[in-house]
């Protein structure tokens, strides 16, 4: 099979970009979308042209590095998979496929299809962790966790931080990502001491990065390669409200420091 | 920072404002509908109700100021959020609607703007009673006798007002947009306050759809049944005659005061 690619090309974040159309060489329909781009790039390189820059790493749907908006949907036509798990058999011979970078003010373009997603890292740095000495691995059942909480926490922890939620949302909102990170720690006993401080810090950082607000459109949930539910955004909204009502923790004078 | 300033500054806080004001306005919409549905009873029913409201100026003005505050907060916060949301995506995609989004959710601003315009028209139409915009005449001149008092004839105003096709049409269009707005807004208010989980979400959506349909049917029935001359067409004829004889402040229907002796 062969496809026509309409790809966004942009030299760097300071120059204007444009769509350019490329004809693919003959493809195996069982190639992943990224392998198809590799083949196209090889041809471009052989012709002495600049290959198309795109993000990729593990290519097995778990690292969250691959991105791309393929035909208007982040991660391609299927639900619950990343771009690296999208195969050429999902397209027809002769299709024109539009490939764009994730579009958001908080995700500036680095080159072509590669965007800077460090805003997510900064949100994580603001509170997406627990402050304990980890030490040696503790005994597995030393801290009991109710099954329902463990299940929900694991659902939230599936987030690979790829940013498809931001890319799909009409408001470029990062709420699903932040909600997943807030919830997966907030549901577990180890996350409790910093639960409300965490949600406030992460939401404040999210706002500072220039992401939009949630209008409950459901786009994020629909494109999430890990199918993370909007329920978690409600959980974050709830925790944020409780955090506001609790106010700042009182400063304790003295102590042994 | 105080909790109030955080609420008005943060993205989630603004969603609380939208949800809270929206929920209170929704309660008003229900109450207002119950009041208005009295038009399907005898003329005395809604006229008594209107007169009761008019005779409690502190309550009416309290409610009006409260509603104004709610509308102003709802609209200004919506504008702030829309500007921030647009700014979050400076470069748009080459084509296609937002994948997987509920269609109502994409029209909240548009439906909200039309509803706001409708509120202004509705207040000018039936509260300020500006003659220039109702297509009938000077509503302030329509009076009736109730319990021996000369009072504004609200029933006549409604049955006359909705016989004008474009007025009835605008009311129905505005109600259709309110239906779209509420269909998404009611459920989203629960989401914004975090009152949802996987069990309750389908129930909340069902409730939101049911409530918005019920509100639409209730409100749209009024202009439709009056325009179709099912409700109050005789009464409207008499009121129109009274309006022509504009110097008169005599009751439109002599029989209306009969049970008040």
Contacts of A74 in chain B (CB under 8 A): 99
Specify the pLDDT at position B235: 92
Confidence of residue A255 (pLDDT cuts 50, 70, 90): low
Three state DSSP letters for chain B: CCHHHHHHHCHHHHHHHHHHHHHHHHHHHHHHHHHHHHHHCCHHHHHHHHHHHHCCHHHHHHHHHHHHHHHHHHHHHHHHHHHHHHHCCCCCCCCCCCCCCCHHHHHHHHHHHHHHHHHHHHHHHHHCCCHHHCCCCCHHHCEEEECCEEEECHHHHHHHHCCCHHHHHHHHHHHHHHHHHHHHHHHHHHHHCCCCCCCHHHHHHHHHHHHHHHHHHHHHHHHHHHHCCCCCHHHHHHHHHHHHCCCCCCCCCHHHHHHHC
The ranges assigned to domains in chain A are: 4-111, 117-246
For the stretch B185-212, pLDDT in tens is 999 999 999 999 999 999 999 999 999 9
- Domain boundaries, position B144: 3-87+106-260
Residue B98 lies in a domain: no
Count of beta carbons in the 10 Å neighbourhood of residue A131: 9
Share above pLDDT 90 across residues of chain B, in percent, rounded to a whole number: 75
Nearest Cβ partner for A247 among B3, B11, B88: B3
Q: Is A98 in Cβ contact with B101 (below 8 Å)?
A: no
Contacts of B196 in chain A (CB under 8 A): 231, 234
Range name among A68-72, A95-99, A211-215, A251-255 with the lowest pLDDT average: A251-255
Share above pLDDT 70 across residues of chain B, in percent, rounded to a whole number: 92
A4-111: what fold?
Ubiquitin-like (UB roll) (3.10.20)
Nearest Cβ partner for B92 among A74, A103, A173: A103
Interface of B with A in 192-211 (CB under 8 A): 192-198, 201
Tokens read off for A51: 């290959």
Q: Is B100 in Cβ contact with A104 (below 8 Å)?
A: no
Residue B212 lies in a domain: yes
Confidence of residue B257 (pLDDT cuts 50, 70, 90): very low
For the stretch B25-79, pLDDT in tens is 999 999 999 999 999 999 999 999 999 999 999 999 999 999 999 999 999 999 9
Interface test with A, best of B4, B7, B81, B89 (most A CBs within 10 A): B89
Average pLDDT over residues A55-69: 95
Residue B93 lies in a domain: no
Interface of B with A in 28-67 (CB under 8 A): none
Confidence of residue B98 (pLDDT cuts 50, 70, 90): confident
Tokens read off for B9: 């500054």
CATH of domain A117-246: 1.10.1060.10
Nearest Cβ partner for B88 among A71, A105, A237: A105
For the stretch B138-172, pLDDT in tens is 888 888 888 888 989 999 999 999 999 999 999 99
Flag whether pLDDT at B93 surpasses 80. yes
Domain count, chain B: 1
Interface of A with B in 155-194 (CB under 8 A): 168-173
Flag whether pLDDT at B16 surpasses 80. yes
Flag whether pLDDT at A95 surpasses 80. yes
ipTM score: 0.92
Q: Distance of CA A213 to CAs A146, A209, B58, B86, Å?
A: 32, 12, 38, 10
Any A CB within 8 A of B14 CB:
yes
Q: Is B94 in Cβ contact with A203 (below 8 Å)?
A: no
Flag whether pLDDT at A15 surpasses 90. yes
Q: Is B195 in Cβ contact with A234 (below 8 Å)?
A: yes
Specify the pLDDT at position B97: 67
For the stretch A109-137, pLDDT in tens is 999 999 999 999 999 999 999 998 878 88
Tokens read off for B206: 């069902």
């Amino acid at each position: 099979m062969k496809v026509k690619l309409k790809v966004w090309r942009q030299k760097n974040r300071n120059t204007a970009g444009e769509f350019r159309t490329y004809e693919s060489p003959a493809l195996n329909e069982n190639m992943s979308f990224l392998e198809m781009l590799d083949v196209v790039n090889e041809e471009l390189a052989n012709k002495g042209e600049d290959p198309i820059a795109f993000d990729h790493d593990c290519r097995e749907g778990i690292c969250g590095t691959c991105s791309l908006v393929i035909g208007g949907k982040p991660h391609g036509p299927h639900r619950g998979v990343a771009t690296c798990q999208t195969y050429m058999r999902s397209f027809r011979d002769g299709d024109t496929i539009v490939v764009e970078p994730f579009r958001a003010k908080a995700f500036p373009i680095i080159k072509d299809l590669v965007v800077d997603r460090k805003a997510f890292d900064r949100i994580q740095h603001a509170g997406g962790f627990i402050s304990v000495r980890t030490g040696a691995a503790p005994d597995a059942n030393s801290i009991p966790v109710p099954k329902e909480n463990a299940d929900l926490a694991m659902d939230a922890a599936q987030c690979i931080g790829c940013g498809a939620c931001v890319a799909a949302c009409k408001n470029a909102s990062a709420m699903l990502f932040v909600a997943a990170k807030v919830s997966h720690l907030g549901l577990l006993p180890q996350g409790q001491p910093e639960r409300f401080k965490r949600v406030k810090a992460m939401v404040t950082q999210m706002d500072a990065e220039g992401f939009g607000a949630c209008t409950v459109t459901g786009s994020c949930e629909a494109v999430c390669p890990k199918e993370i539910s909007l329920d978690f955004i409600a959980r974050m909204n709830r925790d944020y409200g409780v955090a506001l009502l609790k106010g700042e923790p009182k400063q304790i004078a003295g102590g042994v420091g | 920072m105080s909790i109030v300033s955080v609420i008005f500054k943060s993205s989630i806080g603004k969603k609380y404002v939208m949800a809270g004001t929206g929920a209170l306005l929704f309660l008003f919409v229900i109450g207002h509908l119950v009041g208005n549905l009295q038009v399907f009873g005898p003329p005395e029913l809604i006229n008594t109700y209107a007169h009761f409201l008019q005779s409690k100026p502190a309550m009416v003005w309290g409610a009006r100021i409260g509603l104004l505050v709610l509308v102003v907060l709802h609209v200004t916060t919506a504008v702030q959020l829309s500007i921030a949301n647009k700014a979050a995506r400076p470069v748009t995609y080459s084509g296609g609607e937002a994948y997987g989004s509920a269609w109502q959710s994409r029209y909240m601003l548009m439906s909200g703007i039309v509803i706001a315009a409708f509120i202004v028209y509705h207040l000018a139409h039936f509260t300020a009673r500006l003659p220039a915009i109702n297509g009938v005449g000077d509503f302030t001149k329509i009076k009736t006798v109730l319990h021996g008092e000369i009072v504004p004839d609200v029933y006549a105003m409604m049955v006359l007002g909705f016989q004008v096709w474009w007025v009835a049409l605008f009311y129905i269009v505005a109600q259709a947009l309110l239906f779209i707005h509420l269909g998404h807004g009611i459920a989203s208010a629960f989401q914004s306050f975090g009152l949802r989980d996987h069990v309750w979400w389908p129930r909340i959506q069902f409730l939101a759809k049911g409530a918005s349909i019920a509100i639409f049917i209730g409100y749209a029935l009024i202009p439709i049944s009056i325009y179709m001359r099912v409700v109050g067409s005789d009464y409207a004829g008499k009121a129109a005659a009274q309006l022509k004889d504009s110097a008169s402040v005599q009751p439109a229907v002599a029989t209306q005061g009969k049970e008040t002796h």
